[in-house]
């Protein structure tokens, strides 16, 4: 009977022969290995994709292009180049718009060349304010309504102040408040 079972391959295996189910597991093993390999590769790709996206999200904003870095360095240099700022009290003057009278409220600040200029401005504050007041009262709404007019007025104020103080002591004029009513 043992011989019949060996020939048919069914039933209980003879002594020393491996069991039939082990042959089935060996047959299934290459398919399972391929599935596991696909799962591992797929999971690895997903992890890499997540890492790349996270890296771009967290570190992408800090990386700048050469043009952006140059623009930032120019902006920093411009901010660093601002010297000492000397504020004046606000000016309120009448300006004219055709037949109508309007008010101009303007706050002016000067960028000065050094601390010693601060003392000179304090000593000559009245003549500086007077000259600026006279200049502002000559303006009309049409003169100051656009950016070109405002920049022209800024240049005129700088020239007026540099007539009172030695030239080059006041380097820039800033408007920190500008209201027409």
Per-residue model confidence as pLDDT tens digits over 57-86: 777 655 455 555 555 555 554 545 667 999
State the Cα–Cα distance between residues 146 and 38, nearest whole angstrom.
68
Per-residue pLDDT at 63? 46
The pLDDT assigned to 92 comes to 95
Classify residue 14 by its DSSP letter: P
What CA–CA distance (Å, rounded) separates 67 from 5? Answer: 84
pLDDT single digits (tens) 85-118: 999 999 999 998 878 889 999 999 999 988 888 8
Contacts of 109 (CB under 8 A, 6+ apart): 85, 86, 87, 88, 173, 174, 176
Segment 140-171, tens digit of pLDDT: 999 999 999 999 999 999 999 999 998 889 99
Look at residue 181 and tell me whether its pLDDT is greater than 60. Answer: yes
Q: Does the pLDDT at position 22 exceed 60?
A: no
* Among 118, 111, 127, CA closest to 176: 111
pLDDT at 39: 86
Q: All domains of the chain, ordered by start, with CATH?
A: 1-63 (no CATH), 84-180 (3.30.479.30)
Distance of alpha carbon 93 from alpha carbon 133, whole angstroms = 7
- Residue 123: pLDDT band by 50, 70, 90 thresholds? very high
pLDDT, average across residues 123-148: 94
pLDDT of residue 29: 60
Supply the mean pLDDT for the chain.
79
Can you tell me the distance from the alpha carbon of 149 to that of 91, in angstroms, rounded to the nearest whole number?
A: 18
């Amino acid at each position: 009977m043992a011989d019949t079972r060996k020939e048919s391959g069914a039933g209980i295996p003879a002594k020393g022969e491996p069991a039939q189910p082990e042959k089935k597991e060996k047959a299934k093993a290459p398919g399972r290995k391929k599935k596991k390999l696909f799962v591992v590769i797929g999971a690895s790709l997903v992890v890499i994709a997540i890492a790349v996206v996270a890296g771009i999200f967290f570190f992408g904003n800090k990386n700048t292009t050469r043009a952006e870095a140059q623009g930032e360095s120019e902006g920093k240099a411009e901010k660093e180049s601002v010297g000492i700022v000397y504020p004046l009290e606000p000016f309120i003057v009448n300006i004219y718009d055709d037949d109508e009278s309007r008010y101009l409220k303007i706050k002016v600040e000067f960028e000065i060349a050094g601390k010693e200029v601060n003392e000179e401005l304090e000593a000559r504050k009245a003549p500086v304010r007077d000259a600026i007041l006279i200049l502002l009262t000559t303006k009309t709404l049409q003169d100051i309504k656009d950016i070109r007019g405002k920049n022209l007025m800024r240049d005129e104020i700088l020239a007026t102040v540099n007539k009172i103080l030695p030239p080059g002591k006041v380097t820039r004029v800033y408007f920190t408040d500008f209201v027409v009513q």
